[in-house]
Amino acid sequence: MSTSPGLTAALSFSDCFHCGLPVPDGAHYPIKFEGETRPACCRGCQAVAQTIIDSGQGAYYAHRTALPATPQQAEAELAQLGLYDLPEIQESFVRTEAENIREAALILENIVCAACIWLNERHIAGLPGVLSVEINYATRRARVRWDNGRIQLSAILKAVSDIGYIAHPFDPGRSDDIHKRERNTAIKRLAIAGLGMMQVMMYALPAYTATDMTDDIRLLMRWASLILTIPVVVYSAWPFFIGAWRDFKRRSLGMDVPVALGIGTAFAASVYATFSGHGEVYYDSVAMFVFLLLAGRFLEMNARRRAGAAVEELVKLIPAVTTRLPDWPARDEVQVPVARLAVGDHVLVRPGETLPADGVVIEGDSAVSEAMLTGESLPVSKTVHSQVVGGSLNQASPLVVRVDKLGADTRLASIVRLLDRAQSEKPRIGQLADRAAAWFVGLLLLITVVVGLVWYAIDPSKVLWIVVSILVVTCPCALGLATPAALTTATGRLTRLGLLTTRGHALETLARATDLVFDKTGTLTHGRLSVRRVVPLGGRSEREAGMLAAALEAGSEHPIAKALREVAAPAAIARQIRNTPGRGVEGAIEGRVYRLGAPAFAVARGLPPTPPEPDGGASWVALAEDGELIAWFALADTPRADAPVALAALQKQGLRLHLVSGDAAGAVQAVAQQLGIAEWHAGALPEDKLAYVNALQQQGRIVAMVGDGINDAPVLAGAQVSIAMGEGADVAQAAADMVMLGSRLATLSEGVALARKTRHIIRQNLGWALGYNLIAIPAAALGYVTPWIAGIGMSASSLLVVLNALRLSNFSQPADDGSLKAQDSRLAAQEPSL
Amino acid sequence: MDILLLLIPLSLVIVGVIAWIMLWAAKNGQFDDLEGPAHSVIMDDDTPPKPNDPAKP
């Protein structure tokens, strides 16, 4: 076989053959591939890979250029509405607040525009017993709170279907299906409209240009055009009529009203002309108009999907099935759906399996990767009594976990809800455009009537097509699309850069921010110890000393040990390692006895030596060989490696930087000086931090706060826009407007740049849409615009707005170093194709 | 020009056939993945995998 060495060949034998994740110790899921046995990380991968290979598709592994996601097992379909009222079914997607107050996330099908959102919000909110409802345009999801004593969930779902939409309680497996069906229908409508448009144009062109056409041919062409346009109007343009009818029934004015009026009048006029033999036909305009409008909506649908996908990835982390131990501590295993788990159940999580829920480790000792949740790439070690989070991946050895929180109470679900809420809270600028659009439509209809009457007085034969032109040329879609298209695309792009937007206004405010206030520990610094300086003695090199220290600390999980291991690879294997808690470690390497730890412990005989010099809050660790001091290590919480570059970039963007920390003055000053931050404050309590930010705000500054700890939560909530570190406390993330998924500080300046670019693009879009209409309406009113020019102009303006917004999806900051994109999160690797 | 009397109805029939093919294609998931097939043509899976092929590592 002459296949080039593909991605698979580059995988080491310790990685999962299917998805490329490291295979945990103790996981045994062999795959037979071309006579060899390759490892898999879990049952899912094993089953998938074996199916691929057994069906003769093994060439996939030789040719693939990207790694697939770890497969999840499909969930059982939940079919009938009434089922959704059963408590055990509701458990997975409904949160109970008080006795009867419940909250659920719903997916809405058939949402096409901001007006649909508005309609659904109003309709659901009007139901007796519904307490509140918020709908997110980007993901077509709604959050509904209701009083279960007065209304059942099934009644809410039925109410939604009564107004022509379909609502499903959220369940990630269904979301994909819905998307697929919607997309398929859109393609069919687009295809019919496209074919109709092309062929009608073929008939229209000779009718416009030919001079010697006989009347019977002309008539034949009109009839042929009519036959072709019927499916375009009845099938392809159907959503516009439905939307307009919905608006009409609700006595509100949406984007669909003028579109449907335009299509309807032009088509009706043409049919009349065809039958009666008098007047012009506009079949070509109608078909083209419908096609271009559908094309614009198709693009927009894809943009929305792209942005929504990253959020849905988070939900999909939870597996469908898990192993329950019903008689723990006995070892009887039962496979159960995660939805059937109850709080207090014991579950067995084998290496390579994903944790199904939040809980506490009861038995076992393992490393768990929380990368998907926090962006932290290192596995976190978990032992008895450790808290574990649903969605994280067990990597080392089996764990028995007692389930504490399930489904909607889990940390993962709360992250998703945070995101949902954020996207629901539409930015002010977005609401402004919505309201403007309703006024615009009303005004437009008024103008159309007036112009129609005036032309009726001047020349009754022209009234019809001038009215059609105005209705078509002024479609306010461009105006309505301007803001949501840009915000949706920008939010999606930000997520892929590693910055989750959890509140809608964040992007807008970040663009206007003038001051950036940082917390120190865990934000600008790692929040853990690392070796700042090595002082070797007696002619040894720093590297030698580091290698010895690493060897001694090879097996320890102590923070100091971890820091020392980062300095160098172990020199050799240390034997007879003995830990003296609180003092240090002793071991033998190549016949010599080494001691590492507190100075008094390392040098057992004689006086303990004094460290070389005090160093900004650092603590010193001594290494001794056979009782003789050979090296000093200075350990401190050091600034993140990328902090200087990232902060310099932010300063270049014109932001004033501040450092406010609860730490001692010495440590804060050291970090501030190292990073070039002029304004720093040490020893600040949470209320001091808040006061500091409030003082800045009173000077008219717009403050962005970056923090990570529980102590930062108040100030995060108090600042106009706030960013929490993904590794930080839950409370901090809940209070923040944005969450950094990785620990890459460069994300901040990328975020600021993207936010500014977004604001710029929204303004461009609004300016374009308004300017276009200002020119188009008078031109159409004076009769200079034929319906087909109007069709092109209108569609082009919508497309331009959407395409302009899509520029944001590939946004990358003009960078001066290439390291910025080095570490996109894993979410980025799974970006779905359109 | 009389030929148009035949050609125009014929064009309608052809458009109808194309439309039917498009709908059939959409229904059968031909548009589900617009990127994958571009790669799959390059994959030469015409060699059936042999259980013990020494040429393959």
B-chain residues within 8 Å CB-CB of A177? none
More confident residue, A787 or A38: A38
pLDDT-based confidence at residue A462 (cuts at 50, 70, 90): confident
Q: What is the pLDDT of residue A729?
A: 56
Question: Measuring CA to CA, which residue among A730, A658, A669, A717 is closest to residue A690?
Answer: A717
Q: What is the pLDDT of residue A179?
A: 73
pLDDT at A827 over 60: no
Alpha helices in A729-786 (DSSP H): 730-735, 746-781
Q: What is the pLDDT of residue A753?
A: 92
Contacts 24+ apart (CB under 8 A), A598-602: A598/A622, A602/A629
What's the rounded Cα separation, in Å, for the pair A482 and A357?
A: 40
Nearest CA to CA, how far is B21 from chain A (Å)? 10
Supply the Cα-derived Rg of chain B in whole angstroms: 22
Q: What is the pLDDT of residue A763?
A: 86
Across the range A731-741, mean pLDDT stands at 71
A122-131, A565-574, A602-611: which is most confident: A122-131
Contacts for A208 with CB less than 8 Å, ≥ 6 apart:
none
Q: What is the CB-side half-sphere exposure of residue A656 using CA atoms within 13 A?
A: 10
CB A722, CB A707: distance < 8 Å:
yes
Name the residue facing A56 among B18, B49, B57 (closest C-beta): B49
Contacts for A141 with CB less than 8 Å, ≥ 6 apart:
A105, A106, A107, A108, A135, A170, A420
Kindly report, residue by residue over A90-129, the tens digit of the pLDDT: 666 677 777 778 888 787 766 655 556 666 777 788 788 8
More confident residue, A185 or A581: A185
Name the residue facing B26 among A1, A62, A191 (closest C-beta): A191
Inter-chain CB proximity B11 and A202 less than 8 Å: yes
A-chain residues within 8 Å CB-CB of B49? 34, 53, 56, 58-59
Q: pTM score, two decimals?
A: 0.51
Across the range A477-501, mean pLDDT stands at 75
Name the residue facing B15 among A53, A63, A195 (closest C-beta): A195
3-state secondary structure of A639: strand
Least confident of A268-272, A495-499, A515-519, A649-653: A495-499
E strands, A268-357, where? 321-324, 334-337, 346-349
Angstrom distances, CA of residue B34 to CA of A180, A293, A347, B11: 13, 21, 41, 29
pLDDT at A544 over 80: yes
Inter-chain CB proximity B12 and A202 less than 8 Å: no
pLDDT-based confidence at residue B39 (cuts at 50, 70, 90): low
SS (H, E, C) A210-276: CCCCCHHHHHHHHHHHHHHHHHHHHHHCHHHHHHHHHHHHHCCCCCHHHHHHHHHHHHHHHHHHHHH
E strands, A34-150, where? 36-38, 94-96, 101-109, 130-136, 141-147
At A644, which helix (H) or strand (E)?
Answer: helix A643-652
pLDDT at A193 over 90: yes
Across the range A247-269, mean pLDDT stands at 77
Across the range B40-49, mean pLDDT stands at 49
Place of tokens 């999962």: A16
pLDDT-based confidence at residue A658 (cuts at 50, 70, 90): very high
Q: How far is CA A298 from the centre of its chain?
A: 21
For residues A303, A308, A309 and A314, what is the CA-based torsion angle, rounded to 10 degrees? 160
Q: B-contacting residues of A 172-231, CB under 8 Å?
A: 180, 183-184, 187-188, 191-192, 195-196, 199, 202-203, 213-214, 216-217, 220-221, 224, 227-228, 231
Burial of B43 (0-12, 13-18, 19+ CB in 10 A): middle
What are A277's two structure tokens? 């033999």
pLDDT at A692 over 50: yes
CB A546, CB A624: distance < 8 Å:
no
Residue-range domains of chain A with CATH: 7-63 (no CATH), 81-170 (3.30.70.100), 321-409 (2.70.150.10), 506-526+640-736 (3.40.50.1000), 530-636 (3.40.1110.10)
Phi, psi dihedrals of residue A439, rounded to the nearest 5°: -60, -40
Inter-chain CB proximity A220 and B1 less than 8 Å: no
Across the range B29-35, mean pLDDT stands at 68
What are A38's two structure tokens? 């390759």
A-chain residues within 8 Å CB-CB of B50? 34
What are A485's two structure tokens? 């298209």
Q: What is the pLDDT of residue A823?
A: 36
Question: Measuring CA to CA, which residue among A763, A746, A749 is closest to residue A805?
Answer: A763
Kindly report, residue by residue over A703-720, the tens digit of the pLDDT: 898 887 656 767 777 788
Residue A177 appears among annotated catalytic residues: no
What are A659's two structure tokens? 């450092």
Least confident of A182-191, A647-656, A706-715, A779-788: A706-715
Alpha helices in A498-589 (DSSP H): 506-512, 542-552, 559-565
What's the rounded Cα separation, in Å, for the pair A566 and A109?
A: 51
Q: CA B48, B49, B52 angle in degrees (round to 5)?
A: 135
Q: What is the pLDDT of residue B13?
A: 93
Kindly report, residue by residue over A325-347, the tens digit of the pLDDT: 888 777 787 767 677 788 888 99
At A51, which helix (H) or strand (E)?
Answer: helix A43-54
The per-residue pLDDT of chain A, averaged, comes to: 74
Q: What is the pLDDT of residue A194?
A: 92
Q: Give me the numbers of helices (H) and strands (E) for chain B, helices first please.
A: 2, 0
More confident residue, A368 or A191: A191
Least confident of A452-456, A494-498, B20-24: A494-498
Contacts 24+ apart (CB under 8 A), A325-331: A325/A400, A328/A362, A328/A400
More confident residue, A426 or A258: A258
CB A424, CB A136: distance < 8 Å:
yes
Least confident of A77-86, A413-422, A797-806: A77-86
Inter-chain CB proximity B56 and A34 less than 8 Å: yes
Inter-chain CB proximity B56 and A57 less than 8 Å: no
Q: What is the pLDDT of residue B18?
A: 93
Q: What is the CB-side half-sphere exposure of residue A23 using CA atoms within 13 A?
A: 23
Kindly report the number of other CB atoms within 10 A of residue A536's CB atom. 17
Alpha helices in A383-497 (DSSP H): 411-424, 428-458, 463-473, 477-497
What's the rounded Cα separation, in Å, for the pair A568 and A803?
A: 50
CB A44, CB A73: distance < 8 Å:
yes
More confident residue, A194 or A79: A194
More confident residue, A751 or A97: A751
What's the rounded Cα separation, in Å, for the pair A475 and A113?
A: 14
Q: What is the pLDDT of residue A383?
A: 81
Q: What is the pLDDT of residue A73?
A: 32
Q: Is the peptide bond before A329 cis (omega within 30 degrees of 0)?
A: yes
Across the range A445-471, mean pLDDT stands at 84
Least confident of A85-99, A383-397, A744-758: A85-99
> Which chain A residue shows the shortest CA-CA distance from B5?
A217
Kindly report, residue by residue over A411-455, the tens digit of the pLDDT: 777 666 655 554 454 444 445 555 666 777 788 888 888 998 998
Q: What is the pLDDT of residue A376?
A: 45
Phi, psi dihedrals of residue A209, rounded to the nearest 5°: -105, -40
For testing contact with chain A, the best of B10, B45, B46, B47 (most A CBs within 10 A): B45
Across the range A487-498, mean pLDDT stands at 79
B-chain residues within 8 Å CB-CB of A53? 49
Q: How far is CA A272 from the centre of its chain?
A: 51
pLDDT at A1 over 50: no
Question: Measuring CA to CA, which residue among A754, A670, A178, A739 is closest to residue A489?
Answer: A754
DSSP designation for A385: T
SS (H, E, C) A81-113: HHHHHCHHHHCCCEEECCCCEEEEEEEEECCCC
What's the rounded Cα separation, in Å, for the pair A239 and A192?
A: 14
A-chain residues within 8 Å CB-CB of B35? 833
Catalytic residue among A519, A637, A712, A737: A519
Residues of chain A above pLDDT 70, percent: 69
Question: Measuring CA to CA, which residue among A752, A158, A671 is closest to residue A490?
Answer: A752
- The ipTM, to two decimals, is 0.77
3-state secondary structure of A387: strand
Kindly report, residue by residue over A134-177, the tens digit of the pLDDT: 776 555 678 888 888 888 888 888 777 666 567 767 654 455 56
pLDDT at A632 over 70: yes
Q: What is the pLDDT of residue B53?
A: 40
pLDDT-based confidence at residue A688 (cuts at 50, 70, 90): confident
Supply the Cα-derived Rg of chain A in whole angstroms: 32
pLDDT-based confidence at residue A727 (cuts at 50, 70, 90): low
What's the rounded Cα separation, in Å, for the pair A482 and A488?
A: 11
pLDDT-based confidence at residue B16 (cuts at 50, 70, 90): very high
Name the residue facing A220 among B8, B48, B52 (closest C-beta): B8
A-chain residues within 8 Å CB-CB of B28? none
At A31, which helix (H) or strand (E)?
Answer: strand A31-33
Least confident of A246-260, A414-428, A541-555, B29-43: A414-428
